[in-house]
Structure 1
Amino acid sequence: MSAPSPQWFKSSYSDNGGACVEIAANLVSSHGIVPVRDSKLANSPVLLLSPGTFAGLVEYAKRSR
């Protein structure tokens, strides 16, 4: 059995301002990780975050607006 491929998703809040990331939420339930990458560079390095760490990152971004 092969590992599932990341299904990359960019938020609808992305305004094409150049500072966007994509996540692959499909790996949370099966692998317990949230892959994150630069949306402009499909071959960029990928950060593998725990769901809790990703939630903290989202909260930090919301407060920093």
Structure 2
Amino acid sequence: MKTSELSAVRWRKSSHSGPTGGDCVEVARSPSGVAVRDSKHPGVSRLALSRAVFGELVRELRRPVR
């Protein structure tokens, strides 16, 4: 994912983020995949994933902990 793609994306905050501004994750769709960032530090680091890899990440996070 190119940096120029990230300047035009619309970031969405996780529905699990609290109203106090605590640990918040934001995601954005782009033509080449999905970007993830920390809402407290939006310009510091971003993780760029393909749609397939992001789907695997979400499926893994939804699995019950044993």
Structure 2 unaligned regions, length at least 5: none
- Does residue 22 of the first structure (1) align with residue 26 of the second (2)? yes
The structure with the greater share of residues assigned to strand is 2
Hey, which bits of structure 1, 4+ residues long, moved more than 3 A? none
Runs of 5+ unmatched residues, structure 1: none
The alignment yields a C-alpha RMSD, in angstroms, of 2.3
Q: Could you tell me the TM-score, scaled by structure 1's length?
A: 0.70
- Partner residue, 1:45: 45
Q: TM-score, normalised by structure 2?
A: 0.69
Identical aligned residues as a percent: 41
Question: Displacement of 1:33 after TM fit?
Answer: 1.2
Q: CA deviation at 1:37?
A: 0.7
The structure whose residues are more often helix, as a share, is: 1
| Cα distance in 2 for residues equivalent to 1:39 and 1:51 | 21
Aligned length in residues: 59
